[in-house]
C-alpha cells in the first residue's frame, strides 16, 4: 500500500549542542551528573552565561580552599608555634643554593620561562585562536580560563597569606613575602597538564598517552626545581602550586561541562 507524499511525516533533525567528535570526552557532561544538575539549578541560561556562573562559583571555592590550606601551612605546619617544620622546608633550597653552577643557573632560567610569562600566555593564546577558528569553543575556553583561574587563585592566596621566601641568595628581585604558593608551578600544571588531559582523552594507544604524561611530569618537575634552585620557593610552596594547578583544571572541566549541559537542555 503506497503512502501519499503529503501524509509522510518528517521528524526534524535534532541539533547537537556540541560535536562529540571534536569535544574531548572529559568536557562532556554525564546525564544526571553534578554539571547537569548545576545547569538546571541556575535556570538553564545561555551556555556562555552558564559557563561564567560555574567559573565564578568554582573560583570562589578554589580560592577559599587555597587560602585555608595556606593558613594551615604557614601558621601551623612551618610555624615554630605549630609543627615547626620550617627548617626542614628550608633545607632543600639551601642545598640547591650551595651547589649552584653557571649551567644549572642557565637551565633554571629556562625552566622559569617555561612556567611563566610570556611562554604560557603565548601558548594559551595560540591554542585558543586555533580552536576558535575551528569552532572548538570548549577547548578554546578551557585553554584561556584555566590559566586565568590559576593566576587569580595564586594572587589571592599570596596576598592574603604572606610567607617569606627561603633564606638564601635569591636570583630574582620579587616581593620577599610572596613565597607561598609557587605560581610558576601552578601555571605549568594548569596549562601543560590541562592541555595534555584534553589530548589524551581523544587519542588511543597507551604508549602515546604514557609519553604525553611523562613529558608533562618532566616539564612540571623542571619548573618546580628551577623555582627552588633560584631561591624563590620552598618545597611546600611547590606542593601548594601543584594543588592549585590541579584545582584550576578541575574547575574548568566543571565549567565546560555546565556549559555543555546548558546547551543540551536548551536544545531539548
Q: Domain 43-267's class?
A: mainly alpha
DSSP symbol at 86: H
Contact 29, 260 (CB under 8 A): yes
Residue written as grid cell 637551565: 107
Give phi and psi for 146, each to the nearest 5.
-70, -35
Instruction: Note the residue count of the chain.
Output: 268
For CA atoms 254, 256, 259, 265, the dihedral sign is negative
| pLDDT at residue 7, as a whole number | 45
pTM, rounded to two decimals: 0.91
Q: What is the pLDDT of residue 12?
A: 43
Residue 265: the pLDDT is 84
Q: Residue 208 — φ and ψ, nearest 5°?
A: -65, -40
Residue 262, CB-side half-sphere exposure with 13 Å CA sphere: 23
Chain Cα centroid distance, residue 163: 23
Dist. CA 199–CA 253, nearest whole Å = 13
Tell me how far CA of residue 48 lies from CA of 29, 172, 229, 262, 266, in angstroms: 15, 40, 42, 9, 12
Q: What one-character DSSP code corresponds to residue 10? A: P
- Measured CA to CA, the distance from residue 93 to residue 108 in angstroms comes to 13
Cα–Cα distance between 87 and 106 in angstroms, integer? 27
Residues with pLDDT less than 70, the chain: 1-21
In this structure, the number of other CB atoms found within 10 A of the CB of residue 81 comes to 7
pLDDT for the residue numbered 108: 98
Between the alpha carbon of residue 27 and those of residues 103, 133, 142, the distances in Å are: 42, 19, 9
Task: Specify the pLDDT at position 19.
Answer: 52
Q: Which residues contact 144 (CB under 8 A, 6 or more apart)?
A: 124, 125, 128
Find out whether 70 and 180 touch, Cβ atoms under 8 Å.
yes
- pLDDT score of 11: 43
pLDDT at position 21: 57
The pLDDT score that the predictor gives to residue 267 is 81
Listed by start position, the domains of the chain span 43-267
∠ Cα 243 244 245 (to 5°): 90
C-alpha cell of 235? Answer: 618545597
| Partners of residue 163 on adjacent β-strands | 178
- CA R_g for the chain: 23
Residues 221 and 79: their CA atoms lie apart, in Å, by 27
Helix (H, G, I), strand (E, B) or coil at 54: helix
The x, y and z cell numbers of residue 93, run together, are: 633550597
Amino acid at each position: 500500500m503506497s503512502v501519499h507524499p503529503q501524509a509522510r511525516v518528517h521528524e526534524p533533525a535534532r541539533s547537537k549542542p556540541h560535536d562529540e567528535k571534536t569535544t574531548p570526552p572529559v568536557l562532556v557532561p554525564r546525564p544526571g551528573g553534578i554539571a547537569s544538575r548545576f545547569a538546571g539549578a541556575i535556570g538553564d541560561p545561555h551556555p556562555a552565561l552558564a559557563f561564567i556562573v560555574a567559573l565564578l562559583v568554582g573560583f570562589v571555592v578554589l580560592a577559599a580552599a587555597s587560602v585555608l590550606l595556606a593558613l594551615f601551612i604557614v601558621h601551623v605546619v612551618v610555624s615554630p608555634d605549630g609543627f615547626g617544620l620550617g627548617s626542614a622546608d628550608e633545607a632543600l633550597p639551601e642545598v640547591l643554593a650551595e651547589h649552584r653552577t653557571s649551567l644549572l643557573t642557565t637551565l633554571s632560567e629556562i625552566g622559569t620561562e617555561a612556567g611563566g610569562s610570556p611562554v604560557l600566555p603565548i601558548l594559551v593564546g595560540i591554542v585558543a585562536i586555533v580552536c576558535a577558528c575551528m569552532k572548538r569553543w570548549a577547548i578554546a575556553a578551557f585553554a584561556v580560563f584555566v590559566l586565568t583561574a590559576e593566576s587569580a587563585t595564586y594572587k589571592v592566596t599570596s596576598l592574603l597569606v604572606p610567607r617569606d621566601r627561603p633564606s638564601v641568595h635569591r636570583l630574582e628581585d620579587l616581593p620577599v613575602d610572596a613565597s607561598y604558593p609557587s605560581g610558576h608551578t601552578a601555571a605549568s600544571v594548569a596549562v601543560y597538564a590541562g592541555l595534555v588531559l584534553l589530548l589524551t582523552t581523544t587519542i588511543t594507544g597507551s604508549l602515546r598517552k604514557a609519553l604525553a604524561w611523562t613529558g608533562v611530569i618532566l616539564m612540571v618537575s623542571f619548573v618546580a626545581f628551577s623555582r627552588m634552585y633560584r631561591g624563590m620557593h620552598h618545597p611546600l610552596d611547590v606542593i601548594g602550586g601543584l594543588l592549585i594547578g590541579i584545582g584550576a583544571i578541575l574547575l574548568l572541566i566543571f565549567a565546560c561541562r555546565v556549559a555543555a549541559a546548558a546547551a543540551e537542555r536548551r536544545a531539548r
